[in-house]
């Protein structure tokens, strides 16, 4: 079978990082981020266009400088459970932290979403970017990188073990024999590891897709290795075509090195297409959006997120970039370290670094429908992605892509014309995991 493109939708609400002006858009409701009807309509529009999934991000720490969407938004699993009852095919992927949750509780919540949706749940595993989250959970400081990623790997393995608590035929529900459960088909986990001690079993059976699909978004060495070991979907950073190719090849190679089929990990790059009647009109709109969002105060606060929500406004903007390397280790280490290295190499001031983080960068997916489709096809053929995680400023922009670009991709045989399955796994072309209690054990179980 020829490869086809997977598409996911990432709703913005009233604006995430860098979208400082989106909440002012008259077409965006000021309460969009807490309006369940906004998400339902977005999911239904994406499902009508045959998208694979709706993807909801999350974080658990804010201060007054955070992006508008972050200040007032719904908890992902609650949100997606509501959306599940208004959709039939689209996958429902929610972000949840392995650092600030317990395996049993989170495994049960995602398994519940999986049942509510009929097998469409996905978990985006994060180790938490915001260092301030620790104070919301009774900890004095954020865990270091090694601990967070070691905990994440063990967390996923525990969750998968709990999702296998029941064999598929554990419930005969035989009235004549007075047998509801076959106790031999129920399995305790009895896990004891470095970070967790969990007895099990989980009080919920497997869903039609076996287990929720595991997503991850690692960029660092630790993140890439975690993804290669456990992820079935990845939200990749994107960047230039060459950078996307390099990341794609690296993840696929790492996946194979762990004895996994590289086809069983689907890499999604971020895409914010801007579609208009002509290339020129789309490029003008792209520049207008940049100007709407180009707020220096917001950009300075955004820079601080990479360093544990550090307040850079206390520093002289025109002095050399301050020594904050110690803050990067427990924050967004990979991105923060690159900023520090560049600032030193080019002798940049704080103002220059803040400006560089949000300087105008032309997206490759901007233009008339045929132009955007051509670029998507070029990148796909070049081995940069299996899918695109799409983000649109408003419903009108989503409709322009769905009505203009999707039909061209379908005509070229690059995108489906109907859903292949009722589950997220089925539509992504991923296998249903065999229950560990009914198959031969493997090294991955240890």
Q: Give mean pLDDT, residues 296-323.
A: 88
Residue 439: per-residue pLDDT: 62
Cβ–Cβ under 8 Å, residues 202 and 220: no
Whether 144 has a pLDDT exceeding 90, the answer reads no
Give the Cα separation of 425 and 194 in Å (integer): 31
Confidence of residue 331 (pLDDT cuts 50, 70, 90): low
Whether 126 has a pLDDT exceeding 60, the answer reads yes
Whether 437 has a pLDDT exceeding 90, the answer reads yes
Q: What is the pTM of this model?
A: 0.93
Whether 346 has a pLDDT exceeding 60, the answer reads yes
Instruction: Of 92-106, 155-169, 234-248, 327-341, give the lowest mean pLDDT range.
Output: 327-341
Burial class (CB in 10 A: 0-12, 13-18, 19+), 364: middle
Confidence of residue 309 (pLDDT cuts 50, 70, 90): confident
% of the chain exceeding 90 in pLDDT: 77
Give the Cα separation of 424 and 34 in Å (integer): 25
433 closest CA partner among 279, 202, 250, 211 = 211
Ordered by start, the domain boundaries in the chain are: 6-165+191-279+362-445, 295-357
Digit-coded pLDDT (tens) for 182-217: 999 999 999 999 999 999 999 999 999 999 999 998
Q: Which two tokens stand for residue 77?
A: 């699993």
Residues 6+ apart with CB under 8 A from 162: 103, 104, 107, 108, 111, 189, 198, 200, 201, 202
Q: Which two tokens stand for residue 44?
A: 């239904």
83 closest CA partner among 125, 118, 126, 107 = 118
Confidence of residue 17 (pLDDT cuts 50, 70, 90): confident
Whether 441 has a pLDDT exceeding 80, the answer reads no
Whether 21 has a pLDDT exceeding 60, the answer reads yes
Give the Cα separation of 343 and 332 in Å (integer): 16
3 state SS for the chain: CCCCCEEEECCCCCCCCCCCCHHHCCCCCCCHHHCHHHHHHHHHHHHHCCCCEEEECCCCCCCCCCCHHHHCCCCHHHHHHHHHCCCCCCEEEEEEECCCCCHHHHHHHHHHHHHHCCCCEEEEEECCCCHHHHHHHCCCCCCCHHHHHHHHHHHHHHHHHHHCCECCCCCCCECCCCECCCHHHECCCCEECCCCEECCCCCCCCECCECCEEEECCCCHHHHHHHHHHCCEEEECCCCHHHHHHHHHHHHHHHHHCCCCHHHCEEEEEECCEECCCHHHHHHHHHHHHHHHCCHHHHHHHHHHCCCCCCHHHCCCCCECCCCHHHHCCCCHHHHHHHHHHHHHHCCEHHHHHHHHCCCCCCCCEECHHHHHHHHHHHHHCCCCCEEEECCCCHHHHHHHHHHCHHHHHHCCCCCCCCCCCCHHHHHCCCCCCCCCCCCCCHHHC
95 is in an annotated binding site: yes
What is the phi-psi region of residue 285: left when phi exceeds 0, alpha when psi lies from -120 to 50, beta otherwise? alpha
Q: Give mean pLDDT, residues 257-285.
A: 96
> pLDDT higher for 141 or 330?
141
Give the Cα separation of 171 and 16 in Å (integer): 45
Q: Which two tokens stand for residue 35?
A: 């309006």
Q: Give mean pLDDT, residues 396-412.
A: 97
Whether 333 has a pLDDT exceeding 50, the answer reads yes
Backbone angles phi, psi at 14, to 5 degrees: -100, 15
Whether 443 has a pLDDT exceeding 50, the answer reads no
247 is in an annotated binding site: no
Residue 419: per-residue pLDDT: 98
Beta strand 191-192 with 197-198 is antiparallel
> pLDDT higher for 345 or 388?
388
Q: Which two tokens stand for residue 440?
A: 């031969």
Whether 28 has a pLDDT exceeding 90, the answer reads yes
Residue 330: per-residue pLDDT: 59
* Mean pLDDT of all residues belonging to the chain: 93
Digit-coded pLDDT (tens) for 56-113: 999 899 989 888 999 999 999 999 999 999 999 999 999 999 999 999 999 999 999 9
Residue 440: per-residue pLDDT: 59
Residue 446: per-residue pLDDT: 47
337 is in an annotated binding site: no
Instruction: Of 8-12, 283-287, 293-297, 431-435, give the lowest mean pLDDT range.
Output: 293-297
The superfamily CATH assigns to domain 6-165+191-279+362-445 is Luciferase-like domain (3.20.20.30)
> pLDDT higher for 105 or 338?
105
What is the sign of the dihedral through the CA atoms of 330, 335, 339 and 345?
positive
Confidence of residue 1 (pLDDT cuts 50, 70, 90): low
Confidence of residue 304 (pLDDT cuts 50, 70, 90): confident
Give the Cα separation of 409 and 404 in Å (integer): 9
% of the chain exceeding 70 in pLDDT: 97
Residue 306: per-residue pLDDT: 79
């Amino acid at each position: 079978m020829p490869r086809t493109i997977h598409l996911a939708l990432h709703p913005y609400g009233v604006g995430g990082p860098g979208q400082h002006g989106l909440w002012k858009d008259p077409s965006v409701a000021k309460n969009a981020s807490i309006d369940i009807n906004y998400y339902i309509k977005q999911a239904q529009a994406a499902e009508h266009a045959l998208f694979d999934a709706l993807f909801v991000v999350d974080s658990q720490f804010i201060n007054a400088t955070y992006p508008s969407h972050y200040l007032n938004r719904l908890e992902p699993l609650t949100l997606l459970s509501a959306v599940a009852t208004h959709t039939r095919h689209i996958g429902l992927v929610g972000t949840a932290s392995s650092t600030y949750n317990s395996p049993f509780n989170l495994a049960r919540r995602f398994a519940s979403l999986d049942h509510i949706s009929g097998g469409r749940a996905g978990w985006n595993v994060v180790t938490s970017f915001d260092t301030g989250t620790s104070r919301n959970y009774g900890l004095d400081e954020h865990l270091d990188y090694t601990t967070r990623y070691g905990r994440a790997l063990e967390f996923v393995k525990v969750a998968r073990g709990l999702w296998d608590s029941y064999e598929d035929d554990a419930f005969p529900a035989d009235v004549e024999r007075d047998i509801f459960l076959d106790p031999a088909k129920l399995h305790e986990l009895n896990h004891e590891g470095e970070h967790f001690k969990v007895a099990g079993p989980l009080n919920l059976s497997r869903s039609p897709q076996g287990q929720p699909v595991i997503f991850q978004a690692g960029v660092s060495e630790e993140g890439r290795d975690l993804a290669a070991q456990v992820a079935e979907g990845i939200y990749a950073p994107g960047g230039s075509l060459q950078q996307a190719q390099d990341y794609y090849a690296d993840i696929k190679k790492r996946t194979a090195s762990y004895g996994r089929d590289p086809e069983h990990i689907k890499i999604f790059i971020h895409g914010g297409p801007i579609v208009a009647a002509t290339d020129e009109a789309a490029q003008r709109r792209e520049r207008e959006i940049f100007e709407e969002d180009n707020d220096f105060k917001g950009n300075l606060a955004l820079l601080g997120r990479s360093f544990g929500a550090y307040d850079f406004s206390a520093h002289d903007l025109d002095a050399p970039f301050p020594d904050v390397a110690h803050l990067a280790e427990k924050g967004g280490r990979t991105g923060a370290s690159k900023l520090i290295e560049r600032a030193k190499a080019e002798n940049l001031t704080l103002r220059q670094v803040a400006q560089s983080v949000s300087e105008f960068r032309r997206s490759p997916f901007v233009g008339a429908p045929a132009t955007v489709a051509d670029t998507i096809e070029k990148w796909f053929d070049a081995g940069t992605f299996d899918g695109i995680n799409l983000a649109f400023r408003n419903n009108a922009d989503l409709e322009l892509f769905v009505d203009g670009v999707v039909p061209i991709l379908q005509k070229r045989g690059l995108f489906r014309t109907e859903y292949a399955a009722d589950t997220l796994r089925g539509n992504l072309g991923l296998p249903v995991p065999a229950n560990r209690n009914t198959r031969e054990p493997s090294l991955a179980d240890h």
